[in-house]
Chain A
Amino acid sequence: MPEVPNGSALPAPSLAHVLSPKLRTVRNRSRASDTTRSGTWRWLTLTVIGALFWFGVMLVLVRLLRYFKNTPEIGALLAGKLLGLVFLSFFAILLLSNIITSLSSYFLARDLDMLVSAPVDWLTLYGAKLLETLVHSSWMVVLIAIPILAAYGYVYDGGFGFVVLALGTTLPYLIIPAAVGAALTLLLVNLFPARRTRDLLSVVAVLALGALVLLFRLLRPEQLARPEGLRSLVDFIALLRTPTSPFLPSDWVQRAIMSALTDRLDVLPLYLLWSTAAAAVVLGAMLHRALYAGGFSKAQESAQQWARAGTLARLGRWALSPLGVLRRELVCKEVRVFFRDTTQWSQLILLAVLVVVYVFNVKFLPLRGQGIGFLLVNVVPFLNLGLSGFVLASIAARFIFPAVSVEGRTLWLLKSSPLPMRELLWSKYWTGTVPLLGLALLIVGVTDALLQVSAFIFAVSVFSIAFLTFAVAGLALGLGAIFPRYESESAAQIPTSFGGLVFMLSSAVLIGAVVLLEARPVYSYLSQEAFGTVADPTDMVVGFALALAVCLMGTFVPLTVAVRRLERLEL
């Protein structure tokens, strides 16, 4: 126990004291944004969007639950099954997210050197970091769960008691994956160095998520809605009554909530939730006491990595030589940094899954057979353009939007060199756009081929997606530079920032505008082909020219503003 000169012993720092820097950081950050006009605007935008999201989720769920409620016999069972499924998916997400977050909060965070070297009690450190992990991993799930639970409470007249019950069930439900995730990470770090574990976990997490999405898609859930798929109602009710996962907390939450809403509160699931949460924390703490010191020491070991120029790298440098020294080196640097950061390249796996699911969905669209005419077969691919645009925007948000922010700590080098900021953005733009364009053309080409569209629609969709790609990439890079997050520890956090939101909204407006502007000429063409009407050539020219102008503006305006911002940037 540390002592002051007059001999009185100092108490060990409390949990609240260890957590206080985090709380103060949040408070100071919100105070700082309160005082500025842009900060207020930011909060207002986020609140409006958040409220719209909650309202939308509630609206859909309330309608669905009312429909269930009015269905005798199976209504409550269906509502319960749905809640169980939602909480089961949340549990999988929470567990993965807690494992990854606890690796950072227990082993890699910047404050650990100070905390571990200070006389902080092991239990306080465990508790503080567990709370930090829980908050960081669970806030998004909580935000989504609120309107869902509110809809259940509203439709089934839960009243104030339901709010207390919802809190009483959700809290232990969140604690369990946090404690289990932290314990699993502790075991992993004791087996591998932390930096290797992070690489390993990123890949495993992305693979698991990808497999989940693929599995869900391959099950073709839309078939379950077909009445001919059910043998008899009795079988169906029997299936609904069987718990999906009786040993998982998601099932306990569902049972506690549905019992209270439809009949009388069943307390067993509540006991199960709280006792499991308590046991997980106690066992986690015991494990922490036994293994943390060794694991933390191991976490300091770096993963030794060598990087010699291989044949591929030499070939790449040779292929890029026509660009000149500066551009070649900038592009090489971008590619190297991307492919050596596991947290970045592993997202490509998810991307591949996303594309496969997308193409799969298009393949199974019921666009063949009786009553499906030329018009529908060609309208769908045109609308497909908008959807592909959104897929590209979400990819650009992950890979292109953070491109300027990740330079934060190295901007001193770029700004003190004679490198024009225009060149920096040029290299980042093309390094991001070329693969995105390849992907865009692949998606649209394959889906158009699957749908057997006419040559005109094929040409429209290929040209449109190409120019949309240029514009979406321009918006992503430009807005990423206008709303940078230079202090972010990982590139994965950057797309979820305010600027990321602005980018997604702007992309939605851009894609919507292009689809709307092209709708008239495309409709004229399709009417001509289907009904023999005469298409007005002015419609065609004006529509496509305006769409092109919107795309060019989307490309150049944000990039020009970004160049100016970067030139004026002070560090």
Chain B
Amino acid sequence: MIQLHGLTKRYGSFTAVDALDLDVPAGELFGFLGPNGAGKTTTLRMIAGILRPSGGTVRIGGIDVNANPAAAKAKLGYIPDRPFIYEKLSGAEFLRFVAGLYSQQGPAIERRMDELLALFDLAEWKNELVESYSHGMRQKLIISSAFLHRPDVIVVDEPMVGLDPKAARILKDLFREYTRRGHTILMSTHTLEVAEDVCDRIAIVQSGRIRAAGTVEELVAGAAASGQRGLEGYFLQLTGERAARELVEVLDA
């Protein structure tokens, strides 16, 4: 459902994403795991059509995002890491506006809006302006907006940031159910527990490249083979274990 082929993004001489190849089939929840600055957000923004790749292609449901953006984006729901939305619209007005961007309206959309707002405990806030929402509430509103038009693919950047434990639990369940019904989710995170908990497959990304990919079990087995215990050890080995050790030295100094 999501196909990345030789996907590259350069900023001058710096390569943020380096010839990435990836195929996420329908019905899979795929986790993009990596430290800060690994190129996760850049990759996700290229998939969402916000950034133009320096090289390679992105296909969503077989449609090239750069060649036919409108058709590809119609299949997509994007949840960014920073919840910036129109401050002067109410929650309900914002959702109606997003539905309009996908040319959707009517009683079915209104019903879906109410269901999603109720799911995230936002029903009683729906007529209040977004400017009075907390960070977490804005995040929940954006998540609701991404599910509104029932996209085939959801691309989500650090979804748990700012969410309370209840909302985080709901979101994990929602992701699982959504993929069980044949939809695809590509999620970036740097929280190992989240990735282990919900993802069918995981890719560990460092310096714009995939260092390892597979199911959690496969990665844990790979870790054991290289003398590491669990996913965390393997992650640190691939992405810079030394930095973690240096941290202890700094604190002890």
Which residues of A does B touch, CB under 8 Å?
A: 302-308, 324-326, 328-330, 332-333, 336-337, 340-341, 409-420, 568, 570-571
Contact partner, B70, options A302, A341, A418, Cβ 8 Å? A418
Tell me how far the C-beta of B104 lies from the nearest C-beta in chain A, rounded to whole angstroms: 7
Q: Does B37 have its Cβ within 8 Å of any Cβ on chain A?
A: no
The proximity string for B residues 100-115 relative to A, scoring 1 for CB distances below 8 Å and 0 otherwise, is: 1111110000000000
Residue of B nearest to A321 (CB): B105
Q: How many B residues touch the partner, as a band?
A: 35 or more
8 further interface pairs, Cβ-Cβ under 8 Å (given A410-B86, A570-B52): A326-B101, A329-B97, A336-B89, A417-B102, A418-B70, A418-B74, A418-B101, A571-B51
What residues of B have a CB within 8 angstroms of the CB of A303 in the complex? 132
Q: How far is the CA of A333 from the CA of B99 in the complex (A)?
A: 12
Contact partner, B97, options A305, A333, A409, A415, Cβ 8 Å? A333
Q: Are B48's CB and A415's CB within 8 A?
A: yes
Q: Are A302's CB and B132's CB within 8 A?
A: yes
Which residues of B does A touch, CB under 8 Å?
A: 45, 48-52, 69-71, 73-74, 76, 78, 80, 84-86, 88-90, 93, 96-105, 127-129, 131-132, 145
Q: How far is the CA of A413 from the CA of B96 in the complex (A)?
A: 13
Q: Are A409's CB and B84's CB within 8 A?
A: yes
Contact partner, A302, options B49, B80, B86, B131, Cβ 8 Å? B131
Q: How far is the CA of A418 from the CA of B84 in the complex (A)?
A: 19
Q: Are A325's CB and B50's CB within 8 A?
A: no
Q: Are A416's CB and B76's CB within 8 A?
A: yes
Q: How far is the CA of A411 from the CA of B45 in the complex (A)?
A: 12
Tell me how far the C-beta of B114 lies from the nearest C-beta in chain A, rounded to whole angstroms: 14
Q: Are B88's CB and A336's CB within 8 A?
A: yes
Q: How far is the CA of A418 from the CA of B49 in the complex (A)?
A: 10
Q: How far is the CA of A532 from the CA of B219 in the complex (A)?
A: 96
Q: Are A307's CB and B90's CB within 8 A?
A: yes
What residues of A have a CB within 8 angstroms of the CB of B84 in the complex? 409-410, 412
Considering residues A307, A326, A411, which has the most beta carbons from chain B within 10 angstroms of its beta carbon?
A: A307
What residues of A have a CB within 8 angstroms of the CB of B96 in the complex? 329
Q: Are B78's CB and A412's CB within 8 A?
A: yes
Q: How far is the CA of A420 from the CA of B84 in the complex (A)?
A: 21
What residues of A have a CB within 8 angstroms of the CB of B145 in the complex? 413
What residues of A have a CB within 8 angstroms of the CB of B76 in the complex? 416
Residue of A nearest to B132 (CB): A302
What residues of A have a CB within 8 angstroms of the CB of B105 in the complex? 325
Q: Are A571's CB and B100's CB within 8 A?
A: no
Q: How far is the CA of A341 from the CA of B101 in the complex (A)?
A: 23
11 A-B contacts (beta carbon < 8 Å): A305-B132, A306-B128, A328-B100, A330-B97, A333-B89, A409-B84, A412-B78, A413-B85, A415-B49, A418-B102, A571-B45
What residues of B have a CB within 8 angstroms of the CB of A417 in the complex? 73, 98, 101-102
Q: Are B71's CB and A418's CB within 8 A?
A: yes
Q: Are A341's CB and B51's CB within 8 A?
A: no
Contact partner, B48, options A324, A325, A416, Cβ 8 Å? A416
Contact partner, A337, options B89, B98, B127, Cβ 8 Å? B89
Q: Are A307's CB and B86's CB within 8 A?
A: no
Q: Are A415's CB and B90's CB within 8 A?
A: no
